[in-house]
Chains A and B, each alone.
Chain A
Amino acid sequence: MSNWVKAMALSSALVACGAMAGSTDVDAIAGIGREATPNEIKAWDIDVRPDFQGLPPGQGSVEEGESIWLEKCAVCHGDFGDSNEIFSPLVLGNITAEDIETGRVASLTDPGVVRTTLMKVSTVSTLWDYIYRAMPWNAPKSLAPDEVYALVAYLLQLAYVVDYDFSLSDENIEDVQAIMPNRNGVTTDHGLWSVDGETDVMGSDCTSNCVVPLEVTSSIPDYAMNAHGNLKDQMRDYGPFPGIQTAPENAPVDVDVDPVTADRAVPEAALQSNGCLGCHRLDSKLVGPSFAAIAEKYAGQPDAADYLASKIRQGGSGVWGSIAMPPMPQLAPEAVDEITDWLVAR
């Protein structure tokens, strides 16, 4: 019997004993809180379990998924889900027909292979649930169920689990589960589910003349000591343990605030609430160009504000590279004005 099953059996027994009712009788708080309405539950209870409890009906094809993908997902994940720019790759072609046959992705044992989402995921419900609740990155919960079906179908096709003419639906998703490449690749036979679980590793209780390896096999190379910044600045400089000077002496000091732009307040609320900062940084390139670079490029152009406003609303590509900016029609006109005014004034 696995630890998991044991824990499950134990939990029922404990619950029956009323292991912790707190010291307060629940009757004392009988008037606090209210019953949830069916519509409230429907609005929030959106989770989908591996047995597909909670899955809304619908369907979507690989082809439909591809067009939604290119519009809303490729900007971060790449056209084929293989980008490593913003997130770890979703698919890289490390899944074989034999994996699909056995339900174990063999390349997971290969240290040279980058672990992708499709290599690891054992349950197709996980993809559906997560895309529906959390994607896209800058506009979570904006996808309709049919769009989620289509996107899951597209991802599965990228991993060659289904063909390009496939359409995924609530009717056939169980069949897809039966061919998920790593469906047999997970285990719950371990002691880390429960506080009372059994460990699989134990240290030694030896206290003297212990036979232990004493050769230093790994340390931080000198050239990497400053990779996290000057360690001297990361410790108290007056206590018994000052930091090691790892930066060259008299190195230029980083200036966090650009004095030229500091006096013009950053419209943080507008940038944050509209997801702009998911792709743009103030002073460095991320997915898209930095705001500083945009401001510099359009400095002095009389129509800059209008042009930038149209770019925000309609999106575009080619000006700053091949990664497209998706259209942002959801931005309130005031937010667009605030952002463009700030950019032009920088």
Chain B
Amino acid sequence: MSTDNKFSMGHIRPAPESFLDRDLIADVSANGVNSTRRGLLRGALAGALAAVAAQATARPDDPAIVEPAPWSTRLGNPVLTNPYGQPSRFESATIRRQSPGLTQTDEASVSFTPLQSTFGMITPSGLHFERHHQGWVDIDPRQHRLMINGLVDTPMVFTMEDLMRMPSVSRMHFIECGANTALEWGNSAVPTVQYTHGMLSCSEFTGVPLSLLLERAGFDLKRATVLLAEGADGSSMTRTINIENALDDAMVAYGMNGEMLRPEQGYPLRLVVPGAQGVSWVKWLRRIEVGDAPYATKDETIHYVDLMPDGQLRQYTSIQEAKSVITSPSGGQRLMNQGYYNVSGLAWSGRGTVTKVEVSTDGGRHWQTARLEGPVLPKALTRFNFDWTWNGEAALLQSRVTDSTGYIQPSKPELKAVRGTRSIYHNNAIQTWRVMPSGEVENVQLG
């Protein structure tokens, strides 16, 4: 398909604010909208609409260009106005959010990443989703220790100085809570991609390969089959880790996106277990025990167990299988008019690399291949984009990922046929967004 003329297929309507007087913008910006200003805004908008009607004959000059803007005619702010930089004041919609009623306490709770508003593959550290089991803590790094004990020649203690002095690696990996999309097993339950898929983030992590630390302690090659990772927070959260996978690419990380970990993400130290669900990435990591039998901790026996239709609980489920989702347009958003749209989303696999993402606009009847944006890395989020010209009719948008093992993301009916609807964890089914003729996009399930 030629894309040469894609921008001419729909009419791009200038945003109404482009017709507002600069002084009025500055006034509203500084003082808010009162009834007088609201009247002026209405008048300006009416004028703008009239102007659109008259557009065929004479396009009015855009005041955003012909009127001097305050930011172009004043001295700007000095350096260090914000010693640690902040997003623009116009980006206040892009924040983590809770799902009301999901948890009764805020300490054992979740906040979701606003996937609808992020770009590329990296999640800004301040938007990285939170999941705590007994509240978050901010640990003095000088007081933090990592112990390695169990089946080792020499049980060891490392300070942050020790760890940060060691050879380091930096890698980009996704982290997804095993319960991401848990609310959607039975029905469409939440309105936007922030709540359906927002227990998902991707960062560059820097730290020491776990294999090196285990070797340093002289772990028992013959007997060791698992690790226990333990946090230093009140819950001292523990999980059994697959040592085979851990020796491959796990790391004890202190860095995240070029700075130290955020406290909500385990400052000063967390375990990074690429491909495994977030709960295995133990935060505020204080101890690793090398063992020869799994530990059946609370978060792998009472929670994070997947209930199957026969009543059996799958225990030690860890890996996040391949999954993808369209992040824009997505639930709760609105298309303003017909024409070209860049359909954009994220794909990932805990077993390897994303090799293909396909997009359907008709509920899965027909699929077309999307563009993968680089870099495409193992066990990392991969951004995909897809050219779409909306004709104004109802549409059902879906994405489907294939990973390097040949695994293809299942539809909801395909997943439910095996796992039922009560498993809570590991819902990686294809997501459907319905675009209404009004342009409104909503979260739906097909059956």
Interface residues of chain A, those whose CB is within 8 Å of chain B, are: 4, 7-8, 10-12, 14-16, 19-24, 26, 28-30, 32-36, 40-41, 44-47, 49-51, 85-87, 104-106, 108-109, 111, 115, 117, 120-123, 125-126, 129-130, 133-134, 137, 140-141, 182, 185-188, 190-197, 199-210, 212-220, 224-225, 227-229, 231, 233-238, 240-244, 246, 272, 277-278, 286
Contacts and interface: CB of A to CB of B under 8 A. Distances in A.
Interface in B397-447: 400, 402, 407-411, 413-415, 418-419, 422, 426, 430, 434, 440-447
B292 to A, nearest CB: 9
Nearest to A225: B191
Contacts of A20: 209, 211, 247-249
Interface in B293-316: 293-298, 301-302, 305-316
A108 B306 CA distance: 12
Given A15-B224, A47-B230, A109-B309, A212 B157 contact: no
Contacts of B328: 240-241
B363 A228 contact: no
Contact of A217 (B247, B318, B350, B447): B447
A87 B94 contact: no
Contact of B332 (A193, A205, A243): A243
B314 A16 contact: no
B248 A120 contact: no
Given A20-B248, A192-B319, A192-B426, A214 B332 contact: no
Contacts, number: 370
Interface residues of B, number: 142
A7 B316 CA distance: 12
10 contacts: A11-B225, A24-B212, A51-B293, A87-B105, A130-B298, A141-B236, A190-B306, A192-B426, A225-B191, A243-B333
Lowest 6 CB-CB distances: which A-B pairs, in order? Answer: A217-B447, A11-B244, A203-B408, A231-B332, A192-B317, A130-B298
B192 A234 contact: yes
B11 interface: no
Contacts of A129: 238, 295, 297-298
Given A134-B236, A199-B321, A218 B187 contact: yes
B131 interface: no
Contacts of A236: 91, 93-94, 117
A193 to B, nearest CB: 5
Contacts of B247: 14-15, 19-20
A115 to B, nearest CB: 7
A225 B414 CA distance: 28
B329 interface: yes
B364 A210 contact: yes
Contacts of A240: 328-329, 335-336, 341-342
A246 to B, nearest CB: 8
Interface stretch (B53-61, B70-78, B120-128, B160-168): B160-168
A41 B61 CA distance: 75
B289 interface: yes
Contacts of B133: 134
Contacts of B243: 11, 15
Given A33-B162, A193-B319, A41 B147 contact: yes
Contacts of A50: 293-296
B149 A36 contact: yes
A192 B209 contact: no
Contact of B221 (A16, A29, A217, A272): A16
A117 B167 CA distance: 43
A218 to B, nearest CB: 4
- The residue in A111, A213, A241 that gathers the most chain B C-beta atoms within 10 A of its C-beta is A241
A86 B104 contact: yes
B334 A218 contact: no
Contacts of A197: 319
A205 B243 CA distance: 33
B228 interface: yes
B132 to A, nearest CB: 12
B411 A193 contact: no
B297 to A, nearest CB: 7
Contact of B234 (A26, A140, A216): A140
Given A108-B307, A202-B414, 4 more contacts: A22-B212, A130-B297, A202-B407, A228-B190
Given A49-B296, A234-B97, A212 B447 contact: no
Contacts of B212: 21-22, 24, 26, 29
Given A19-B248, A29-B216, A35 B155 contact: yes
Contacts of B297: 47, 126, 129-130
B296 A201 contact: no
A191 to B, nearest CB: 8
Contact of A108 (B221, B230, B313): B313
Nearest to B312: A187
Contacts of B366: 207-210
- The residue in A106, A126, A195, A210 that gathers the most chain B C-beta atoms within 10 A of its C-beta is A195
Contact of B363 (A10, A120, A212, A231): A212
Contacts of A104: 311
A286 B105 CA distance: 8
A115 B425 CA distance: 14
Contact of B155 (A36, A122, A204, A228): A36
A228 to B, nearest CB: 6
A219 B301 contact: no
A224 B105 CA distance: 22
A205 B356 CA distance: 11
Contacts of B422: 111
B242 A194 contact: yes
Contacts of A105: 311
Contacts of B306: 190, 192
Nearest to B446: A213
A140 B232 CA distance: 11
B153 to A, nearest CB: 10
B367 A210 contact: yes
Given A33-B162, A133-B236, A218-B187, A193 B100 contact: no
Contacts of B414: 201-204
Contact of A212 (B187, B194, B365): B365
Contacts of B28: none
B165 A32 contact: yes
B62 interface: no
Nearest to B287: A44
Contacts of B363: 212, 214
A220 B191 contact: yes
Contacts of B106: 277
A312 B223 CA distance: 51
A47 B17 CA distance: 61
A32 B17 CA distance: 61
B391 interface: no
Contacts of A10: 244
A15 B248 CA distance: 10
